[in-house]
Amino acid sequence: MFVLLLMLAFVSYEREEADGEIGDVVQGSCEGKGREDQGGKSAFFYILADGLSLRVSRSLDSKMVNGEYIFDKGDRIEVMERNGVWVKCRTVEGFEGWLKAVYKGDVCLSSVYGGSPPNWYMFGLEPSHKGGVDSGILPEGELAWKTPMGDMGLGNRFALVDGRLYVTSEGDAGYDDEGDGLYCVDSRTGNVIWQFSTYQEGRGDSDCHSGVAVVDGRCYFGCDDGYVYCVSAGDGRLIWEFKTGDMVISSTSVVEGRVYAGSWDDRLYCLSAADGELIWRFGIGEWDLSSPLVVKSRVFIGNFAGDIFCLFADDGGFAWRFKAEDWVRSSPCFYDEMVYVGSDDGNIYCLSIEDGSLIWKFETGGEVVSSPCVVADRVYVGSRDDHIYCLSSADGELIWKFKTGDDVLSSPCVVDERVYVGSEDDRLYCLSADSGKLIWEFETGDDVFSSPCVVGGRVYFGSWDGYLYCLK
pLDDT tens-digit map of 10-43: 222 223 333 334 343 333 332 223 333 333 333 3
Q: What parts of the chain have a pLDDT lower than 70? A: 1-118, 123-137, 151-156, 171-179, 202, 204-205
Please classify residue 340 by burial: count the beta carbons closer than 10 Å to its beta carbon, then call 0-12 exposed, 13-18 middle and 19+ buried.
Answer: buried
Contacts of 168 (CB under 8 A, 6+ apart): 155, 181, 182, 183, 208, 209, 210, 211, 212, 221, 223
Considering the chain, what percentage of its residues have pLDDT values greater than 90? Answer: 50
The 10s digit of each residue's pLDDT in 54-102 is: 444 333 332 333 333 334 434 445 555 555 555 566 555 455 555 554 4
Burial 143-157 (b: 16+ CB within 10 A, else e): ebbbbbbbbbbbbbb
End-to-end CA distance of the chain: 34
Please classify residue 319 by burial: count the beta carbons closer than 10 Å to its beta carbon, then call 0-12 exposed, 13-18 middle and 19+ buried.
Answer: middle
Looking at the chain, the domain(s) classified CATH 2.130.10.10 span 143-471
pTM, entire model: 0.77
Other CB atoms within a 10 A radius of the CB of residue 325 amount to 10
| CATH no. for 143-471 | 2.130.10.10
Task: For residue 246, give the 3-state DSSP assignment.
Answer: coil
